[in-house]
Amino acid sequence: MEQLSSVAVAGGGAVGLTTALALAQAGVPVTVLEAAPKLVEEYRASTFHPPTIEMLDDLGLAQGMLAKGLIAQTFQNRNRNEGIVAEFDLGLLKNDTRFPFRLQLEQYALSVAAYDALLRLPNADVRFDHEVTSARLDDDHVVLDVATNSGPQQISAPYVIGADGAASAVRRSLGIAFDGMTYPERYLVLFTTFDFAAHLENLAYVNYVSDPEQWFVLLRTPGVWRVLFPTDASETDDALEMDVDSQEHLQRVVPTGADYPILHRMIYRVHQRVADSYRVGRVLLAGDSAHVNNPLGGMGLNGGIHDAVSLARALADVWQGHAQGDALDEHAERRRRIAIDYVQAWTHQNAVAIAQSDLDARRRQQNELRATAADPERARRYLLRTSMIEALRGPNA
């Protein structure tokens, strides 16, 4: 058995690498164990909120990411037939954050930046082809079973962070419940270079478009638009993977009479789940291992990064003798309460609102959004919630 004198991080995605970087920069040695043979560069989340950019700036990552991404000063709630319902300007947060905007950039850009930074640190080790398959507690350390390309291994570490995704082997092997619900519809996400801004007047980079028959979300990242649709239960995965079905969905956004160029597509089920505990002894959970939610509002990845930074601070204090183990309990409970009371509640509310089919209820919702956007102080309070600043600083932010 290999015995590490470093914190082991199971999972080398954006959250795992961010956690590892924050720990290493704080002087804590880390070893990242990633199942994939190399850094995974995939389309997933694409929005970074203001407080998240602040955290990444503190880690030395934000400036490089800002240079690659798009600055979304505003976001819009739209009606498919009537256009803009309400536009919110994050510039209203100029006194609340040093980054009063959203950054539109694919999630893997953070993974690349964090990995590159880790390579420059002597107390950080990233091992690919190392899949953590189980974890168990043993006195003053944690034993991991790890599958590698050279065969199974056992590795022990004084602390383990489970950042290995929604199907987390770390969480499951410790018997931590992951309760919640699954939405009946699957989401279809299509990536295209079609220029929606040339056809939809005053289009923002981030747009939530309601419609009683089929709502959608339209997001811009460098070089590509991504369009998210809910799908009907009768649509099979095979049908959704066919180009003709994808074209039909896109033609409802802007009818062109010609095929859209489609670079990539994803189909996935959407869950609202939170782990029963974020800490069991010397094992702590972060990111999708700890919580998953629907993507409306862009809070999943952002919440995971917030987990990472909070966890790294608490664990660094314990590691260096500045705090006792209860600091880890406080971190775990605080992050879990935020996931339940804020992220889960807000994202589910977003899902219900955008899918509202009752015409009177939709009209009331849209009138409320218009009134909120028109009042600078109400709009600021709304933006404090949607940007996740309130979740971190409390309702008096």
> What percentage of the chain exceeds 70 in pLDDT?
97
Q: Give domain status of residue 84, yes or no.
A: no
Q: What is the pLDDT of residue 81?
A: 84
Q: Do 28 and 137 lie in a common domain?
A: yes
Q: Do 263 and 283 lie in a common domain?
A: no
Q: Do 223 and 347 lie in a common domain?
A: no
Q: Give domain status of residue 228, yes or no.
A: yes
Q: Give domain status of residue 250, yes or no.
A: yes
Q: Give domain status of residue 393, yes or no.
A: no
Domain at 216, CATH number: 3.30.9.10
Q: Give domain status of residue 397, yes or no.
A: no
Assign residue 145 a region: left if phi > 0, alpha if psi is -120 to 50, beta otherwise?
Answer: beta
Q: What is the pLDDT of residue 281?
A: 97
Q: What is the pLDDT of residue 325?
A: 85
Among candidate residues 271, 288, 319, the one where a domain is terminated: 271
Among candidate residues 238, 271, 304, the one where a domain is terminated: 271
Segment 342-361 shows an average pLDDT of: 92
Q: What is the pLDDT of residue 239?
A: 61
Among candidate residues 250, 271, 292, the one where a domain is terminated: 271
Q: What is the pLDDT of residue 372?
A: 98
Q: What is the pLDDT of residue 397?
A: 65
Stronger pLDDT, 350 or 397, i.e. the higher one: 350
Check if the beta carbon of residue 142 is closer than 8 Å to that of residue 157. Answer: yes
Q: Give domain status of residue 307, yes or no.
A: yes
Segment 310-315 shows an average pLDDT of: 98
Strands 216-221 and 224-230: antiparallel
The model's pLDDT over 242-289, given as tens digits with 9 standing for 90+, comes to 778 899 999 999 999 999 999 999 998 999 999 999 999 999 999 999
Q: pTM value?
A: 0.95
Segment 18-42 shows an average pLDDT of: 96
Q: Do 245 and 285 lie in a common domain?
A: no
Domain at 24, CATH number: 3.50.50.60
Q: Do 37 and 143 lie in a common domain?
A: yes
3-state SS record for the chain: CEECCCEEEECCCHHHHHHHHHHHHCCCCEEEECCCCCCCCCCCCCEECHHHHHHHHHCCCHHHHHHHCEEECEEEEEECCCEEEEEEEHHHHCCCCCCCCEEECCHHHHHHHHHHHHHCCCCEEEECCEEEEEEEEECCEEEEEEEECCEEEEEEECCEEECCCCCCHHHHHCCCCEEEEEEEEEEEEEEECCCHHHCCCCCCCEEEEECCCCCEEEEEECCEEEEEEECCCCCCHHHHCCHHHHHHHHHCCCCCCCCCCEEEEEEEEEEEEEECCCEECCEEECHHHCEECCCCCCCHHHHHHHHHHHHHHHHHHHHCCCCCCHHHHHHHHHHHHHHHHHHHHHHHHHHHHHCCCCHHHHHHHHHHHHHHHHCHHHHHHHHHHHCCHHHHHCCCC
Q: Give domain status of residue 95, yes or no.
A: no
Q: Do 165 and 203 lie in a common domain?
A: no
Q: Do 38 and 161 lie in a common domain?
A: yes
**pLDDT class for 236, splitting at 50, 70, 90?**
low
C-alpha of 248 from chain center: 28
Q: Do 112 and 204 lie in a common domain?
A: no
**pLDDT class for 213, splitting at 50, 70, 90?**
confident
**pLDDT class for 240, splitting at 50, 70, 90?**
low
C-alpha of 12 from chain center: 15
Q: Do 58 and 128 lie in a common domain?
A: yes
Question: In the chain, how many domains are there?
Answer: 2
The model's pLDDT over 158-190, given as tens digits with 9 standing for 90+, comes to 999 999 999 999 999 999 999 999 998 899 999
Average model confidence (pLDDT) for the chain? Answer: 95
The model's pLDDT over 74-107, given as tens digits with 9 standing for 90+, comes to 999 999 888 999 999 999 999 999 999 999 999 9
The answer to whether residue 138 scores a pLDDT higher than 70 is yes
Domain of 35?
2-69+105-177+276-355
Q: Give domain status of residue 136, yes or no.
A: yes
